[in-house]
């Protein structure tokens, strides 16, 4: 195990970004940058031991600045979409930036995907931690929010993401990582042949602006059902209202057994290479996004122009727009309480 640190270019404001490379000697490597605490690449072996980069991304920090897909970035304080860009805490309304029509997406232009974090490397050489102290009023939200995100590459070919933070006032805390995966390789094209399993009996349907309606609907008998593993493309063009609204899958799934414990919530396999990614999390929800609106301007890594559905996201999270739906689990972090959540992406290969 070991970590290499190198420059990743300068931001448009002249700040130097760095990239951290973790290698485990088992065919895997992870690259992360302090810009957005972003995962830049994941090298994962296939069934024959050949490693490929399975994460969509860019070659330079300025491309990440210009990109609009949040490739690999840490999202926060409040992930996903929020109606009218407003959150409500104990009856008090806080106004966020309207950066997607009348709504807020991923905390706006001042979100955590757009800042340079303070980085530190652990002594064992297998983890990088990124730290940020958000001022009271940051993103329109109350409280000084002290947050650390740690990436670990294990000898078991796991990429662990651990979030830990506190606030001195009641605030909203709902963070995630927005990695786009293509297990055939980041330049391999569409992911519709990937086989997906999700441990979810229900999902939260959306209406106008992709805002949840507040309902929780069973997946039973619908194209949303991935409890029996199937290809992502099997039903993605089905004549089903929710798929038409979102242009494919872009929905929050209500994960089973949500009692705060770390458990397996998803599995993805790419048939040709045999690469498999299992997802473990303590989260209550996961946003499955099939990359319906991906377009890479600027070009992606190695000059690749990413297109529609060339990567899939499994973003572990609290339910989107929970602030407006009392039946959803709360995303309020109380003053002095500890925000803590973990997600693991475990890579292997099926022969």
SS3 for 282-302 is CCCEEEEECCCCCCCCCCCHH
Pick the catalytic residue: 31, 138, 270, 315?
A: 315
Task: Tell me if 10 is assigned to some domain.
Answer: yes
70-106 confidence digits (pLDDT tens): 999 999 999 999 999 999 999 999 999 999 999 999 9
CATH number, residue 145: 2.70.98.10
Active site residue 186: no
130-180 confidence digits (pLDDT tens): 999 999 999 999 999 999 999 999 999 999 999 999 999 999 999 999 999
Mean pLDDT in residue range 235-239: 98
Pick the catalytic residue: 132, 178, 186, 325?
A: 178
pLDDT grade, residue 125 (50/70/90)? confident
251-278 confidence digits (pLDDT tens): 999 999 999 999 999 999 999 999 999 9
Structural domain containing residue 29 = 2-191+279-349
Task: Tell me if 90 is assigned to some domain.
Answer: yes
pLDDT of residue 250: 98
Active site residue 241: no
Task: Tell me if 239 is assigned to some domain.
Answer: no
Name, in order, each residue with C-beta under 8 angstroms of 343's C-beta and a sequence gap of 6 or more.
160, 161, 177, 279, 280, 281, 282, 283, 316
Q: pTM of the predicted model, to two decimals?
A: 0.97
Task: Tell me if 255 is assigned to some domain.
Answer: no
Q: What percent of the chain has pLDDT over 90?
A: 96
Task: Tell me if 249 is assigned to some domain.
Answer: no
Task: Tell me if 267 is assigned to some domain.
Answer: no
Task: Tell me if 317 is assigned to some domain.
Answer: yes
Domain count for the chain, please give it: 1
pLDDT, mean over the chain: 97
- Closest to 57 measured CA to CA, from 107, 106, 113, 104: 113
Q: What Cα–Cα distance (Å) separates residue 274 from each residue in 34, 125, 271?
A: 32, 29, 5
pLDDT grade, residue 246 (50/70/90)? very high
d(CA 196, CA 269): 7
Three-state DSSP at 74 gives strand
Task: Tell me if 197 is assigned to some domain.
Answer: no
């Amino acid at each position: 195990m070991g970590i290499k640190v190198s420059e990743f270019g300068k931001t448009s404001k002249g700040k130097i970004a760095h990239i951290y490379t973790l290698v485990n000697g088992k065919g895997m490597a992870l690259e992360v940058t302090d810009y957005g605490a972003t995962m830049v690449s994941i090298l994962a072996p296939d069934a024959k031991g050949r490693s490929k980069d399975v994460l969509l991304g860019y070659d330079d920090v300025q491309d990440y600045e210009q990109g609009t897909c949040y490739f690999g970035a840490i999202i926060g304080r409040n992930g996903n979409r929020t109606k009218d860009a407003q959150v409500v805490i104990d009856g008090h309304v806080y106004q966020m930036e309207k950066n997607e029509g009348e709504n807020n997406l991923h905390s706006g232009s001042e979100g955590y995907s757009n800042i340079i974090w303070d980085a530190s490397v652990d002594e064992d050489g297998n983890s990088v931690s990124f730290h940020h102290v958000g001022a009271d009023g940051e993103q329109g939200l109350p409280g000084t929010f002290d947050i650390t995100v740690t990436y670990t590459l294990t000898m078991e070919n796991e990429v662990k993401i651990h979030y830990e933070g506190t606030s001195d006032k009641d605030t909203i805390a709902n963070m995630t990582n927005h990695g786009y995966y293509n297990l055939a390789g980041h330049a391999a094209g569409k992911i519709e042949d990937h086989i997906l399993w999700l441990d979810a009996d229900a999902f939260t349907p959306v209406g106008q602006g992709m805002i949840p309606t507040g309902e929780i609907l069973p997946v039973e008998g619908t194209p949303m059902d991935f409890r029996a593993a199937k290809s992502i493309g099997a039903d993605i063009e089905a004549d089903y209202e929710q798929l038409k609204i979102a242009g494919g899958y872009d929905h929050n799934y209500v994960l089973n057994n949500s009692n705060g414990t770390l458990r397996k919530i998803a599995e993805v396999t790419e048939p040709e290479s045999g690469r498999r990614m299992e997802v473990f999390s303590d989260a209550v929800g996961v946003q499955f996004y099939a990359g319906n609106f991906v377009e890479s301007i600027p070009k992606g890594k190695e000059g690749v122009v990413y297109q529609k559905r060339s990567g899939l996201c499994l973003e572990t999270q609290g339910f989107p727009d929970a602030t407006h739906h009392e039946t959803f689990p709360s995303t309020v972090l109380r003053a002095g309480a500890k925000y803590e959540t973990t997600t693991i992406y475990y890579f292997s290969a099926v022969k």
